C-alpha cells in the first residue's frame, strides 16, 4: 500500500517508535495522522508537529478504541492504515507477579490489537482495502529472558497478526507485524538487558523499516536482521534452541546477582 495521501492512526504516538512513525508518515505524504496516546500533552505535541489530530486513549479499553476510530472517521473520513503500536513491558519474572499485572499487560499488548481490528476492519473490508500494522517484539518470536508477561503477550500479538493476515489477506487487508529487539525508547531507558545483544536501534530507523514493509506489504518487520536467523534456528531444532536460551538465562541470573552483591557491599560500607 502506498503511503501518500493515506489516512493513518498511530497509537503510542507520544514517544519512541510511535512518535517516529507519525513523523515518517508525515514526511512520506500521508493525508492525515491521528496521534493516540494516554499522554495527552505528548499526543498534542506530535499532532501539532505533523498537522494531525491528538486523541487521548487507554488502548486496553475497548470503548477508548471505538472512540479513536470514531474521531478518526470524523476527522479524515475514514482510516486506511491503523498502527496498533502502544505496548508496555509488564512486571519482570513470574513468581513475583500478580494476576492484576498479567491482566494489565495482556490488555495493552494483546487486546489493544484485537479491539482495533474488530472495530476498524468493517470499513476496510467494505472498501476492499486497508492496512493493519501491529507492533509486537522479537520477544514474540523468540521469548524474553526474565519477563514472562512480555514474552507471552508479545507472542500472542504475533499470533493474532498472523491470524488476521491469513483470514483477511485475500480480501484487500494488508498486515505487518513489527518485531524489533532493543530500540531506544522509554522502555529501554534503564537498559535493554539481553534484548540489546544485537545493538540498540533509533526509533526513526525502525519507523522507516515499517513504512517500507507497508509499501511492500511484507508481514514480518525485522529491523534487527539477526532475528530472522534466530527464528530459523528455533524452528530447525527447538530443543537445542531452548538449551541455548537456558544458558542465556543463567548468564542473566549471574549478572543480576553480581549487581545485587555489589549494591549490598556498597550499602554495608555506608
Find the range with the poorest average confidence among 97-106, 142-151, 250-259. Answer: 250-259
Domain check: are 167 and 243 in the same one?
A: no
pLDDT in tens, 34-44: 999 999 999 99
CA dist 143 and 252 (Å) reads 14
Any domain includes 45: yes
Q: What domain range is 246 assigned to? A: 237-270
CA dist 150 and 87 (Å) reads 9
Res 196 pLDDT > 60: no
Res 190 pLDDT > 60: no
Closest by CA to 156, choosing from 128, 142, 136, is 136
* Global pTM value: 0.91
Section 246-250 average pLDDT: 92
Better-scored residue on pLDDT, 192 or 72: 72
Better-scored residue on pLDDT, 270 or 167: 167
Domain check: are 102 and 163 in the same one?
A: yes
What dihedral angle (degrees, nearest 10) is formed by the CA atoms of 65, 68, 70, 75? Answer: -160
Section 129-137 average pLDDT: 98
- The pLDDT assigned to 194 comes to 56
CA dist 163 and 166 (Å) reads 5
Asked whether 28 and 46 are in contact (CB, 8 A), the reply is no
Res 262 pLDDT > 80: no
Asked whether 145 and 249 are in contact (CB, 8 A), the reply is yes
At 254, is the pLDDT very low, low, confident or very high (cuts 50, 70, 90)?
confident
- The pLDDT assigned to 252 comes to 81
Domain check: are 53 and 12 in the same one?
A: yes
- The pLDDT assigned to 59 comes to 98
Q: How many residues can be counted in the chain?
A: 270
- How many structural domains comprise the chain? 2
CA dist 116 and 59 (Å) reads 9
Domain check: are 126 and 247 in the same one?
A: no
Any domain includes 2: no
Any domain includes 13: yes
Closest by CA to 84, choosing from 54, 53, 61, 109, is 109
What count of Cα atoms within 13 Å lies in the side-chain half-sphere of residue 203? 20
Section 173-180 average pLDDT: 98
Res 241 pLDDT > 70: yes
At 259, is the pLDDT very low, low, confident or very high (cuts 50, 70, 90)?
low
Asked whether 97 and 148 are in contact (CB, 8 A), the reply is yes
At 140, is the pLDDT very low, low, confident or very high (cuts 50, 70, 90)?
very high
Res 144 pLDDT > 70: yes
Any domain includes 1: no
CA dist 270 and 268 (Å) reads 5
Res 267 pLDDT > 70: no
Amino acid at each position: 500500500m502506498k503511503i501518500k495521501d493515506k489516512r493513518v492512526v498511530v497509537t503510542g504516538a507520544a514517544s519512541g517508535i510511535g512518535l517516529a512513525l507519525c513523523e515518517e508518515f508525515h514526511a512520506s505524504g500521508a493525508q492525515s495522522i491521528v496521534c493516540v496516546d494516554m499522554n495527552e500533552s505528548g499526543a498534542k505535541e506530535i499532532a501539532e508537529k505533523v498537522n494531525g489530530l491528538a486523541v487521548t486513549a487507554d488502548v486496553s479499553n475497548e470503548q477508548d478504541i471505538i472512540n479513536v476510530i470514531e474521531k478518526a472517521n470524523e476527522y479524515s473520513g475514514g482510516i486506511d492504515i491503523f498502527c496498533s503500536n502502544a505496548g508496555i513491558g509488564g512486571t519482570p519474572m513470574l513468581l513475583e507477579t500478580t494476576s492484576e499485572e498479567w491482566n494489565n499487560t495482556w490488555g495493552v499488548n494483546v487486546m489493544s490489537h484485537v479491539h482495533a481490528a474488530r472495530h476498524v476492519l468493517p470499513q476496510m473490508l467494505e472498501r476492499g482495502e486497508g492496512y493493519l500494522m501491529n507492533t509486537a517484539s522479537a520477544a514474540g518470536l523468540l521469548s524474553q529472558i526474565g519477563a514472562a508477561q512480555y514474552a507471552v503477550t508479545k507472542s500472542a500479538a504475533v499470533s493474532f497478526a498472523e491470524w488476521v493476515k491469513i483470514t483477511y489477506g485475500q480480501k484487500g487487508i494488508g498486515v505487518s507485524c513489527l518485531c524489533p529487539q532493543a530500540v531506544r525508547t522509554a522502555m529501554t531507558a534503564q537498559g535493554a538487558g539481553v534484548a540489546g545483544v544485537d545493538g540498540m536501534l533509533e526509533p526513526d530507523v525502525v519507523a522507516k523499516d515499517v513504512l517500507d514493509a507497508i509499501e511492500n506489504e511484507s508481514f514480518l518487520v525485522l529491523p534487527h536482521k539477526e532475528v530472522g536467523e534466530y527464528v530459523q534456528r528455533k524452528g530447525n531444532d527447538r530443543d537445542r534452541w531452548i538449551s541455548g536460551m537456558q544458558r542465556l538465562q543463567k548468564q542473566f541470573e549471574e549478572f543480576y546477582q553480581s549487581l545485587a552483591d555489589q549494591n549490598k557491599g556498597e550499602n554495608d560500607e555506608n
